[in-house]
Amino acid sequence: MISFILCLLLLIAGYLTYGKIVDNTFGPDDRETPAVRINDGVDYVVMPQWKLFLVQLLNIAGLGPIFGALQGALWGPVVFLWITFGTILAGGVHDYFSGMISERNDGASIAEVTGKYLGHTMQNVMRVFSVVLLIMVGTVFAVGPAGLIVTLCKNSGVSGLLCTTLFWLILILVYYFIATFISIDKIIGKVYPLFGMCLIIMAVGVIIGIYTNPNYTIPEIWTHLYNMHPSGTPIWSFMFITVACGAISGFHSTQSPLMARCLKNEKQGHFVFYGAMVAEGIIALIWAAAGCALYEVTGGLNTGLAEVLAGGQSAAIYDVCSKTMGGVGIALAMIGVVICPITSGDTAFRSARLTLSDWFHIDQGPYVNRLKLCIPVLGVGAILGIGNATGFINYTVIWRYFSWTNQTLAMIVLWAAAMYLFTEKKNYWIAAVPATFMSAVSSTYFILAPECLGGLLNSKTADGAVIYNTALAYPIGILFAALLLALFIRATKKHAAQKAA
């Protein structure tokens, strides 16, 4: 429990100290924000700071800091360190700059921002990559809740149309269309702060339940500072990829521009962007602690946690909430596993619309122009979702690459932030260091992961256990990160020489 409390205090201190350093490095001022200057009543709308914080938290979180943290707990309390320092030194930096640089560029989507600072080729890559990723996220966050609602209906004795996945999927997609189309302050700005508070309440309830139950003990980092994964999966770099939301996640950079278009003053950025990331880190820390405390810790974590996780997100969250909060926890879990994915899904589709509007320079004020993008974006989502629900399309294999692409996106955004700071003659190392770290994480995982090159390079023992080719992956990961850092330094010197000439 002591190490958990220390990590919790570090996260709070990190917001107050390092978060302020990040904020001062950027240098917010009193210039007119896009929300004030453009204010189209649709996407550029001034909202109160507390709403911006809660909406941002819900947009970037969903079930990510819950299920990802529970999966991270398989490695033991060492995951507390990644959540804590990853949030302070990488995730908070990533979210802050993706939001504030967007704000300085009229609320531009992350593809346009990275293109401006990393070149036209990267801009086009990021445009395609972002749209595909966002539609995929939105679709998965429609199919998942639809299936869960059907399960709940069947368990409650309901039959007929209400027990079909297709019915609920269509209903969710209709809602997505409405939420993507109308002004951001009509549904998202009004309802999402409430759900954001539910996410916080759920986490608080879990930690109180652990603390008040004498049967649960959060293991200390210093007595369990080793790989406790029951399958022997390496900490580096699998844990850093698995626990994305709650430490650092590239998906956040697609969501930050939504709130960048709603800031009344630049000085709100520290609380809205860095603060929401720290709040997500605290939520992840609590759920990781629950994963370590509720399931027996031996030489390796008891397979009880692995078995619960194998049942999927809803089963794992239900189990933790019921054990820590009883009936109230079950009610919160049901709300969480249904509402949280949906709230991330609709903002994913909204971000896809805005990315396309920036790409093709389509003004989103007139409703006709919004229809031009909403219809094809939601249409593709509907085809994928309905195809998956009816068994005609299976994109599970593609979705397995999300973990890697998500952290690769974070890497790219951090490099863009470093280049922005260089061009502004500010301390770019604050972004370049985590960018280098995430470059090593992403490249190492690509070589080790079974769904990537690991499927070819890894071997297996006689009983089927995977032998990871770390002797090859670790050096290549370090060399790749060093190469990107060298290329970045070379680019800064070239840029400085051109300006001097």
pTM, rounded to two decimals:
0.93
Question: pLDDT 10s digit of each residue in the chain, 501 long?
Answer: 899 999 999 999 999 999 999 999 999 999 999 999 999 999 999 999 999 999 999 889 877 888 889 889 989 999 999 999 999 999 999 999 999 999 999 999 999 999 999 999 989 989 988 898 898 888 878 877 887 787 777 777 777 777 888 888 899 999 999 999 999 998 888 888 888 888 888 899 999 999 998 888 898 999 888 888 888 899 999 999 999 989 999 999 999 999 999 999 999 999 999 999 999 999 999 999 999 888 765 444 445 777 777 776 667 787 888 888 887 877 777 777 778 888 888 899 999 999 999 999 999 989 999 999 999 999 998 888 888 766 665 555 555 567 888 899 999 999 999 999 999 999 999 999 999 999 999 999 999 998 888 878 888 887 878 889 999 999 999 999 999 999 999 999 988 887 776
Exposed/middle/buried for residue 363 (C-beta within 10 Å: 0-12, 13-18, 19+): exposed
Residue 312 CB contacts under 8 Å (≥ 6 apart), including other chains: none
| CATH number of the domain located at residue range(s) 2-360+369-500 in this protein | 1.20.1740.10
**Contact at 8 Å (CB) between 377 and 92?**
no
**Contact at 8 Å (CB) between 244 and 403?**
yes
**Contact at 8 Å (CB) between 231 and 465?**
yes
* 3 state DSSP class of 476: helix
Question: What's the gap between Cα 465 and its chain centre?
Answer: 30
Q: Would you mind telling me the total number of residues written for the chain in this entry? A: 501
Exposed/middle/buried for residue 461 (C-beta within 10 Å: 0-12, 13-18, 19+): exposed
